Amino acid sequence: MDITVESLETPALTKAQLADLLFEKIGLNKRESKDMIDAFFDLIATSLVDGNDVKLTGFGNFQIRTKAPRPGRNPRTGEAIPIQARRVVTFHASQKLKEQIQNQSSNTSVSF
């Protein structure tokens, strides 16, 4: 399926724009489109919060990583401040996505 994003007014693709694209390309009504996008991102967020990685074939992987505590400093005062251990989300693009980005840098059409 080709999704052309030439009509986007901002350089970022928003959830509302994704819902509009579902409405236009698939024919879902606007409410169903919005609900589907919200449910998709809620599932991803819930899985990550629960400590599970999310793997989207052909797109990439979202992984939870635990960062160890480390010393830091206040840039204004130079005072040493400990940085707490924390969990962060990292994203690693799939090889297929990387190739599409390299090969179609001037084209605004994306295929999944």
Same domain, 67 and 36: no
Tokens 């998709």 belong to 40
Same domain, 78 and 100: yes
Is 96 inside a domain boundary? Answer: yes
Same domain, 27 and 64: no
Same domain, 64 and 102: yes
Is 90 inside a domain boundary? Answer: yes
Could you write out the three-class secondary structure of 38-90?
HHHHHHHHHHHHCCCCEEECCCEEEEEEEECCEEEECCCCCCEEEECCEEEEE
Which pLDDT does position 8 carry in this prediction? 47
Q: What is the pLDDT along the chain (112 residues), one digit of tens a residue?
A: 555 555 545 588 899 999 999 999 988 899 999 999 999 999 999 999 999 999 999 999 999 999 999 999 999 999 999 999 999 999 999 999 999 999 976 555 555 5
Domains identified in the chain, total number: 2
Contacts of range 51-56, beta carbons closer than 8 Å, 24 or more positions apart? 51/87, 56/94
Same domain, 77 and 102: yes
Same domain, 66 and 20: no
| Structure token digits, residue 111 | 């295929």
